[in-house]
C-alpha cells in the first residue's frame, strides 16, 4: 500500500486522533517529511482534519459520522498569533478532541479548596511584575477608581462591546458607541443584542460609581449579575439569584454542581478566598477562573466574571482589561480547559495577551483625555440626585425643582454654575444615560409626555 493509504487508514481507525509522532511510530518505514507532505494533502483534500498545534497537533478523519461530535474546523481553531506555552498546547490538544472523545467530569471541589490566597499563585511573580509594569497609570497613587472614572466614556464602549462580542453579539464598535452615547439602537439587530450592550453599560457604571464599597461579596456579585442579566433570562427571578437547577455547558463534557446549597457553600468559599488575595492581578485572574467554573447563576456567568475581574484593577487605578480583540474561539477553548481539566495555563496565556492589548489602547488615549470639569466632579452626586428627583416627579416644574435642590445643597457662590450644569444635563438626557441616574425608560417616557420633550 502507498504511504497515503497507510496513513489515511491509520487515522480513520483511531478513536481519539493521532499525533505525527504516533503515526511515525506505527509506520517506521515512512520518513517524517513524507508523512508531513501526505498529511498536508489529506487535509487539503478534506479527508483529514487537524486540531492543536506543534507536537500536540492531532489528526482525525474529517468525514466522521460516528456521532462522536464535530471536529474543529479552521475557522474554529485557536488563533496562531496568541503565544502559548507547552502546557497550554497540551490543554488545547485535549479540548480540541471530538466531544465524545473527552471524559465527562463534574465539579472538582479540590480545585478551589487547594488554593491558598497569597501562597498559591496562578500568576507567577515574574508575570505579576510584567502585568503591573504594563498596566501602571499616572493615577496609581490616587484614590481608588480615579483612573476608571477618567476613562469611563471610552471604557463603557470598549468593555461593553468586547464582552458582548464574546457572547456572539453582532453589534459593531460604532453601533455600540451610538447606543451608549446617543441611545440609538442599531438597525436590523435583535433586541436581545441591544439589551446585552445596555446591561453591560449599567453593570460597568455600577462598579465604577460604587468603587469605594464594591467588593467580592454577595451583595456586589448578585447586583452585578442582576445588572447584566436584566431582561435576558427566561425566568426573571433568576436575575441576581443563586442557580436553582442543573445546567449543561454547551460544547463541553463538564457538569457543574446542581444543588443550590452546594453552590451557595462553594460561592462563600470562593468569595472568602478572593477577598484575601493581595495582588490585584492574581485576584482578577482568580475570579476569571473560579466564577465560571462554579456557574453560580442560571446563565451569564462568564460575563459576570469578566466584569468582576476588572474590579481589582479599577480599585488599584490600573488599566482595565477590556477584552478588545479577544477571539471568541480562543476564549471559549481557554474556559473549557478550566471546566474539563481544572487547568489554568491556557486561560492564563490568553489573559496576559489580552491585557497587553488593553494597555496599549488605554495608555495611548489617556494623554488625549480632556480634564474633568471640576464643578461637575465636585457636585456629581448632587447633580445625579437632582436629575433623578426631577424625572421621578413629573408633576413638579423642573426649573423650580432644580433651584430648590441647589439652594439646599450648594454654597451660594457656586449655585448659579451648578444650576446651569444641571439644566444642561437635563437638556441632554436620553435613554442611553438613564442608568447613570438610576432611572428607567418608563420613568423618562412619563416625564417627557408631561413636559413635551
CATH number of the domain residue 19 falls in: 1.10.10.10
Q: Are residues 385 and 342 in the same domain?
A: no
Q: Cite the beta strand spans of 120-276 per DSSP E.
A: 254-255
Q: Are residues 285 and 415 in the same domain?
A: no
| 93 found inside a domain | no
| 88 found inside a domain | no
Q: Are residues 184 and 320 in the same domain?
A: yes
pLDDT of residue 67: 35
Contact by Cβ (8 Å): 7, 45: no
| 91 found inside a domain | no
Q: To which residue does cell 444641571 refer?
A: 422
Q: Are residues 258 and 301 in the same domain?
A: yes
Number of domains within the chain? 3
pLDDT tens track of the chain, all 453 residues? 677 888 888 887 776 778 888 888 888 888 888 888 888 888 877 778 877 767 777 888 765 433 334 445 555 678 888 999 999 999 998 998 888 889 999 999 999 999 999 999 999 999 999 999 999 998 889 999 999 998 998 999 999 999 999 999 999 999 999 999 999 999 998 999 999 999 999 999 999 999 999 999 999 999 999 999 999 999 999 999 999 999 989 889 999 999 999 999 999 999 999 999 999 999 999 999 999 999 999 999 999 999 999 999 999 999 999 999 999 999 999 999 999 999 999 999 999 999 999 998 876 665 555 556 677 778 888 888 888 998 899 888 888 888 898 888 888 888 888 888 888 888 878 877 788 888 888 888 888 888 865
pLDDT of residue 241: 95
Q: Are residues 135 and 228 in the same domain?
A: yes
Q: Are residues 329 and 382 in the same domain?
A: no
| 351 found inside a domain | yes
| 274 found inside a domain | yes
- Report if pTM > 0.85: no
Which grid coordinates are listed for 117? Answer: 490566597
Which grid coordinates are listed for 184? Answer: 440609538
Q: Are residues 180 and 276 in the same domain?
A: yes
For 51, the enclosing helix (H) or strand (E) is strand 48-51
Helix (H, G, I), strand (E, B), or coil: what is residue 84? Answer: coil
Q: Are residues 134 and 40 in the same domain?
A: no
pLDDT of residue 64: 47
Residue ending a domain, choose from 77, 95, 129: 77
CB neighbour class for 301 (10 Å; exposed up to 12, middle 13-18, buried from 19):
buried
Q: Are residues 124 and 213 in the same domain?
A: yes
Q: Could you tell me the CATH number of the domain that includes residue 328?
A: 1.10.3290.10
| 96 found inside a domain | no
Pairing of the two strands 58-61 and 105-106: unpaired
Q: Are residues 172 and 279 in the same domain?
A: yes
Q: Which domain holds residue 427?
A: 374-451
Q: What is the signed CA dihedral for 132, 133, 139, 141, rounded to 10 degrees? A: 60
Q: Are residues 190 and 161 in the same domain?
A: yes
Q: Are residues 110 and 13 in the same domain?
A: no
| 391 found inside a domain | yes
Residue ending a domain, choose from 336, 366, 396: 366
Residue ending a domain, choose from 59, 77, 95: 77
| 196 found inside a domain | yes
Number of H helices, E strands in the chain: 22, 5
Amino acid at each position: 500500500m502507498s504511504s497515503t493509504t497507510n496513513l489515511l487508514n491509520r487515522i480513520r481507525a483511531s478513536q481519539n486522533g493521532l499525533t505525527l509522532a504516533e503515526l511515525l511510530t506505527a509506520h517506521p518505514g515512512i520518513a517524517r517529511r513524507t508523512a508531513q507532505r501526505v498529511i498536508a494533502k489529506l487535509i487539503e483534500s478534506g479527508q483529514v482534519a487537524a486540531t492543536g498545534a506543534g507536537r500536540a497537533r492531532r489528526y482525525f478523519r474529517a468525514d466522521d459520522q460516528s456521532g462522536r461530535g464535530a471536529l474543529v474546523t479552521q475557522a474554529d481553531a485557536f488563533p496562531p498569533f496568541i503565544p502559548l506555552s507547552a502546557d497550554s498546547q497540551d490543554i488545547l490538544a485535549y479540548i480540541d478532541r471530538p466531544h465524545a472523545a473527552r471524559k465527562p467530569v463534574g465539579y472538582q471541589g479540590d480545585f478551589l479548596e487547594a488554593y491558598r490566597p497569597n501562597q498559591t499563585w496562578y500568576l507567577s511573580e515574574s508575570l505579576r511584575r510584567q502585568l503591573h509594569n504594563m498596566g501602571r497609570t499616572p493615577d496609581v497613587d490616587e484614590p481608588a477608581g480615579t483612573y476608571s472614572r477618567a476613562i469611563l466614556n471610552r471604557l463603557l464602549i470598549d468593555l461593553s462591546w468586547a464582552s458582548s462580542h464574546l457572547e456572539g453579539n453582532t453589534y459593531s464598535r460604532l453601533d455600540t458607541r451610538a447606543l451608549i452615547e446617543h441611545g440609538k439602537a442599531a438597525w436590523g439587530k435583535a433586541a436581545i443584542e441591544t439589551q446585552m450592550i445596555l446591561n453591560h453599560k449599567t453593570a460597568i457604571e455600577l462598579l465604577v460609581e460604587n468603587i469605594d464599597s464594591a467588593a467580592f461579596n454577595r451583595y456586589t456579585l448578585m447586583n452585578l449579575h442582576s445588572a447584566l442579566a436584566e431582561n435576558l433570562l427566561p425566568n426573571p427571578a433568576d436575575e441576581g439569584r443563586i442557580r436553582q437547577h442543573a445546567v449543561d455547558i454547551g460544547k463541553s463534557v463538564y457538569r457543574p454542581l446542581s444543588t443550590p446549597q452546594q453552590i451557595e457553600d462553594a460561592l462563600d468559599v470562593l468569595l472568602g478566598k478572593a477577598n484575601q488575595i493581595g495582588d490585584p492581578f492574581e485576584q482578577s485572574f482568580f475570579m476569571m477562573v473560579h466564577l465560571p467554573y462554579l456557574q453560580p447563576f442560571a446563565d451569564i456567568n462568564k460575563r459576570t466574571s469578566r466584569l468582576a475581574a476588572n474590579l481589582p484593577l479599577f480599585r488599584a487605578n490600573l488599566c482595565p482589561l477590556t477584552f478588545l480583540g479577544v477571539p471568541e474561539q480562543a476564549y471559549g477553548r481557554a474556559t473549557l480547559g478550566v471546566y474539563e481539566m481544572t487547568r489554568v495555563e491556557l486561560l492564563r496565556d490568553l489573559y496576559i495577551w489580552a491585557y497587553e492589548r488593553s494597555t496599549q489602547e488605554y495608555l495611548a488615549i489617556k494623554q488625549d483625555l480632556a480634564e474633568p470639569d471640576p464643578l461637575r466632579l465636585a457636585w456629581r452626586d448632587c447633580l445625579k440626585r437632582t436629575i433623578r428627583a426631577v424625572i421621578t416627579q413629573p408633576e413638579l416644574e423642573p426649573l423650580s425643582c432644580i433651584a430648590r435642590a441647589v439652594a439646599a445643597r450648594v454654597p451660594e457662590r457656586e449655585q448659579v454654575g451648578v444650576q446651569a450644569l444641571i439644566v444642561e444635563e437635563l437638556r441632554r438626557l436620553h435613554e442611553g444615560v438613564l442608568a447613570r441616574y438610576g432611572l428607567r425608560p418608563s420613568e423618562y417616557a412619563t416625564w417627557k409626555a408631561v413636559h413635551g420633550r
